Every structure is written in structure tokens, then in C-alpha cells.
Amino acid sequence: MTPASKPIRRIATEEAFSIPEVAAGLREVARAPGNSLDLVLVERIYDAKVDDVQARLLPRLLDLEKERLKDMDANGVAMHLLSLTAPGVQMFDADTATELATLANDKLAAVIKRHPTRFAGLATFAPQSPKRAAVEMERAMKKLKLNGFILNSHTHNEYLDNPKYFPILEAAEDLDGCIYIHPRAPSDGMAAPFRDYGLDSAQWGYGIEVSTHAVRMMVSGVFDRFPKLKICIGHMGEAVHFWLWRLDYMNKNAQNRGSAPKTKLTPSEYFKRNFVITTSGQESHLALDFSIKALGIDNVLWAIDYPYQPSAPAVAFMDSAPVSAAEREKLYHGNAERVFHIKLE
């Protein structure tokens, strides 16, 4: 086989899974009283009373070694970077969340050990208990050899700019582990307008939630305290980079009038230095082209968002992207290998 005909290595970087214990816990959450906007989706997946598309997702989330591998093989996908699906353990009490995070990480590491060329993994942790979370983060990377971390945006309606979560950020920076901030439904304070028209989740609410989280981190000074911290956000960057010029301009005004802290860099400088993005669930060549021009080819990674999005269109999207062969290699696997410490086969 000549080098020109060598198959490209496709590493998909936002690929969801679950375990029975977390699924059972979320079923109980769905049946308990509550007003969290996350319950709209949690009920449909974990306590479904009708057979719809979302109700059929749970078996695919729980399956790691049968249909998933067949789907990967059928679409030429070399590897899934696995992460515990939203809302992860963040709707449980701190003790339950800590126990389930440990169990999920152990099970994830075991699957990776059985299929080291097909799977890598992001460790989950319980932000409800930041110090215990930091301990689990260290165990996950040093002992289990996982590749970074997954966080489902807000916890108890709080974000990572809150100093109570700094032990988590310190651990991630020390371990050189990228935190993938995955969406969940908007926090309680912003939830009301998203309760209509199916706006609660992927159609609109998820992007608003994560983009708000990212902007709070940039304008709060978090990255002055943790300059080497790396954050990944999906869905073509949740459109944050479209707003960078305006963020810089308006944040300068906010700093001058004292309503925002003085920071060493501008939001756009933090975004280009401390963030990478994935293409998960956003298969637009126009958006990809803008992202590469705005952020640089090294800061964009390919993803499918399996099983929420189908694999074949995601592969076709990147195969047909108007980029050079060298750029396609970076998008498909080179950047993922660097950011998430994934070893070459």
C-alpha cells in the first residue's frame, strides 16, 4: 500500500456513552419532583413512556462493544473519544455523584483496555465536591490513563468561574488534561424562554448554555489564574468565536466602568489560547471555514456526537470539506492526538 492510499485515521471526539448505574440513577431523578429544564430530556431518555427517537437512545448509549463498533467499522471511524453523556453525575447529591463518577471511570478504562486502538476516554468527576473531584481527576489520568475530562456545563446553576471550583481547574492544569465542557439544559435563572418550541436542548438551549459558560470564564479572569488550562467546546464552538470582536469591544467598556474585572488579555486572546472546538453536530462547510480562519487549523477537531447524530453524514461532511489533505489530517486526528494525548497506533 502506498502512502497516498493509506486510510485516514478518523478520531471522533464527542462520543457519548452511559453505564447502567448512572441510567438507573437518572431514572429516579426523572421520577422525583423537580423543575430543572434538564428533566425534559432526562424523562424522555431514562423514563420514557412512549417509544420515540430519544427513548431509543438509551440502548445505544449503554452499548460500547457491539453495535457501536459495527457502526464505526461501517463508516471508517478508527476511534471514539468516549465521555459519559449529559447530564453525567451532576444532578445527583455529592456522595452519589462521587461514587458514580469513580465507577464510570473504572468501567470506561476497562473498555479502553479491551479495545485500545478503538477507544480513548474522558474522565467524569463530581463538581458538587470539588476537592474529591480533584482527587478523582488525578486518579483517572495517572492510574486509569484516561485522556482528559468531561463536564456538563453548570452545576447547581454555578459555573467554573466560581472560586469554589478552582481545585478542579488547578487539577486539570497540573495534569495537562483538557476539560470538555459539554452542554446541558440552561440553568434555572435563564430557563424560562427555553421551555417552549423544543428550545430546551440541542436546537438552541445547549449552545446558549455553554457559550455563556465559556464567556464567563474568559471575562472573569479565570485564565489569568490558570493560564495553561485547556477547554474544549463542541458544536463548532457554540458560536462563541463569531462574537469575539464584539466581546473584546464591549468587555473593554465593562472593564472601564468597573462592572468587569481587569484581565491580562482580551476574550479573543483567551479563546484562541485556552480553547479548542469540535465540529460535533454542526456539519456546515461555511461554519468550518470560518472557524479555521478565526481560530487556526490547530484549534478545530472533528466529532460525530454519536449516538445523538449519525456517523455517515459526519464522515461525509469532513471527507468533502474544502481543505487541504494536510488540514484534513489535523482535523480528523492530529489535533485530537495532541490535545487529548491519544497515542498513534
Would you please indicate which residues are annotated as catalytic (active-site) residues?
Answer: 305
Q: How far is CA 88 from the centre of its chain?
A: 11
Sequence-separated (6 or more) residues with CB below 8 Å from residue 48? 54, 55, 58
Burial class (CB in 10 A: 0-12, 13-18, 19+), 33: exposed
Other beta carbons within 10 Å of 113: 11
d(CA 214, CA 229): 13
d(CA 233, CA 213): 10
Alpha-helical segments (H) within the chain: 20-31, 39-46, 57-62, 67-74, 94-114, 130-142, 166-175, 205-220, 222-225, 244-256, 267-274, 285-295, 311-319, 325-329, 335-339
For 58, the grid coordinates are 438509551
The 3-state secondary structure of 207-268 reads HHHHHHHHHHHHHHCHHHHCCCCCEEECCHHHHHHHHHHHHHHHHHHHHHCCCCCCCCCCHH
Residue type (1 letter), 124: T
Q: Are 257 and 301 in contact (CB under 8 A)?
A: no
For 25, the grid coordinates are 440513577
Q: Are 163 and 217 in contact (CB under 8 A)?
A: no
Rg of the chain over all Cα atoms, to the nearest angstrom: 19
